[in-house]
Structure 1
Amino acid sequence: MGAMSHLVTARDLAHEIEDVVVIDVRWTLTTPGQEQPGPAEYAAGHVPGAFFVDLDTELAAPPGEGGRHPLPEPAVVEGTLRRCGVSERTRVVVYDGRESYAAARAWWVFRWAGLEDVRVLDGGFAAWVRAGLPVSTEVPEVHHGGFVARPGSMPTVDAHGAADVARSGLLLDARAPERYAGEQEPIDPVAGHIPGAVSAPTAAWLAEDGTFRADLAAHAAEVLGQHNGPVAAYCGSGVTAAHAVLALAEGGVDAALYPGSWSEWIRDPRRPVATGPGPGRPSLG
């Protein structure tokens, strides 16, 4: 573990809640076109004082050439954080329903935009409720923070960079093993993975209750194995890959994010596609 954790427990958040800005980013991984229940869940009850931020519209740009969840415009992130009362030195805690997939995306996007002190509520809203802490339905008033976005504060790779990392370092595919292998693809039109990438499902970083497992450093060492060089992560659209980057950071490993991920990779038919349970050999897909 590094000297400073990017996670906070429900009990610790309760003790410091008056000194931080809390942001609710509940979002469910579903197939395109299905309704996201985040706003309804927030309205039904949330951490007291928490602001709701929408992943699809405030933590991502519209789908397109950059994939299903391209990076948002810096001005959008700046406006989102300002309405939550965030300035340069504000301490922020983000959470989602349980597993912190969406919260990790918020953690990554806010840090990419230049906000330094961002942590994730480990175990999400479920952990807060499980701890017997109070729940509110009150919506806080819009604030007027002074945050100024400085994009590029977290490392990224594009498609060319991801291919380079797959050859010279370690490119982790955070999707479920069956999607990596090309056996199932419920969302994107092409199945498989980036040639040379290694399957590292993001669910493996979690304990049964949705919190991050206690042995993150040991698991990170197991995932990295004997690989040397740069490390990067991708998934379907850059959401769960941010979760892998967060887990690696907790384990003491710096990793870049491929924001476009698989949904951008396959937009160019000239890019090779591999299938099977291992890195395998590529075929044009």
Structure 2
Amino acid sequence: MNAIISASDLASQLAGENPPVLLDVRWQLSVAKAAGEPSFDGRAEYAAGHIPGAVFVDLDRELAATPGTGGRHPLPDLAEFGAAMRRAGVSSGTPVVVYDGGQGWAAARAWWLLRWTGHPDVRVLDGGLPAWQGGLSTEVPEPAEGDFEPVPGATGLLDADGAAALARSGVLLDARAGERYRGEVEPIDPVGGHIPGAVSAPTNENVGADGRFLPAEELGARFKALGVSDGSEVGVYCGSGVSAAHEVLALAVAGIPAALYVGSWSQWSSDPSRPVAVGPEPQ
């Protein structure tokens, strides 16, 4: 099943007999969050105009738990996540499309959570809201309660020990900017650098200038150049488990399954017992 959908296909499906549930997850990381301030959650932008029928979902409150030992965006309580999805009208038998302001990170987080907890049909709007060619609405929908019950998957999720092991046995991709991977700068977390053995793979290189994903064959070639081969076990992490979900989505577009280390560098770097590598090489 395709993991992304074009704006034109979304418009057609919204006008069809079985329209998807539409989730607006506009959000942007704030460096100030490290000081305890909230991230930009897009609620005001949603109120000012959204794709008709879309329900707003708050990443920090509904797609993540309170920051702590699990990192800045740990897994949400699954009962609370399920309740939030049902309030948004999500049912197991109805397709879901998620979009954000164009960066794709927040939409990918929602996509990954829904897929990991068992929803069979979730896609991300390629290019986000900027790709939408239709009109916008300020009307807040009141969807019928959905029936989705999240059931966590047996695979697809890494903890710190699993990420460390995968960096040696498979391919662990670091989705952050290269300078953070190398340890040259670290604007948010206590220590710069990367998990020993991880390969630098900035997530912004998965998309073109328009914010849309590169074609599947180009993505496949990119990941092959980073060491991913047929049968490779692949994992991804980032700063807090959000942009890494976007890389997991890019891998899915290329037909490559991958696991997500949700705690990511925010969890890893907060534990002084964990080793840290610096420089351009995995080590």
Q: What are the within-5 Å matches in structure 2 for residues 19-38 of structure 1?
A: 19-31=19-31, 32=33, 33=37, 35-38=39-42
Q: Aligned partners of 1:250 and 1:225: how far apart in 2?
A: 14
Aligned residue number for residue 2 of structure 2: 5
**TM-fit CA distance, 1:224:** 2.8
Tell me the secondary structure at the aligned position of residue 76 of structure 1.
helix
Q: Aligned partners of 1:151 and 1:231: how far apart in 2?
A: 19
Q: Determine if contact 1:99/1:211 at 8 Å carries over to the other structure.
A: no
Calculate the TM-score normalised by the size of structure 2. 0.93
Question: Which digits, 9 at most, give the CA deviation of each residue in 1:220-243, with x for residues without a partner?
Answer: 322335696411000000000111
Aligned residue number for residue 81 of structure 1: 85
Structure 1 ranges of 4+ moved more than 6 A: none
State the superposition RMSD in angstroms. 1.5
Q: What are the within-5 Å matches in structure 2 for residues 97-246 of structure 1?
A: 97-128=101-132, 131=133, 133-152=134-153, 155-214=156-215, 215-225=218-228, 229-246=232-249
Identity over aligned pairs, percent: 58
**TM-fit CA distance, 1:217:** 2.3
Unaligned runs of 5+ residues in structure 1 are 281-285
Aligned residue number for residue 283 of structure 1: none
1:54 maps to which of 58, 65, 84: 58
Q: How many residues align?
A: 274
Q: Aligned partners of 2:172 and 2:41: how far apart in 1?
A: 32
Q: Aligned partners of 1:239 and 1:35: how far apart in 2?
A: 13
**TM-fit CA distance, 1:158:** 0.7
Tell me the secondary structure at the aligned position of residue 236 of structure 1.
coil
Aligned residue number for residue 257 of structure 1: 260
Q: 2:64 aligned with 1:67, yes or no?
A: no
Tell me the secondary structure at the aligned position of residue 180 of structure 2.
helix
Tell me the secondary structure at the aligned position of residue 171 of structure 1.
strand
**TM-fit CA distance, 1:37:** 4.6
Question: Which digits, 9 at most, give the CA deviation of each residue in 1:118-149, with x for residues without a partner?
Answer: 00000000000xx3x11101100143111111
Q: Aligned partners of 1:247 and 1:37: how far apart in 2?
A: 23
Tell me the secondary structure at the aligned position of residue 232 of structure 1.
strand
Q: Aligned partners of 2:229 and 2:111: how far apart in 1?
A: 29
Q: Aligned partners of 1:154 and 1:38: how far apart in 2?
A: 31
Q: Determine if contact 2:115/2:122 at 8 Å carries over to the other structure.
A: yes
Calculate the TM-score normalised by the size of structure 1. 0.92
Q: Aligned partners of 1:207 and 1:182: how far apart in 2?
A: 26
Q: Determine if contact 1:111/1:154 at 8 Å carries over to the other structure.
A: no
Q: Aligned partners of 2:11 and 2:231: how far apart in 1?
A: 40
Using a 3 Å threshold, how does the CA distance of structure 1 residues 30 and 195 change in structure 2: closer, same or farther? same
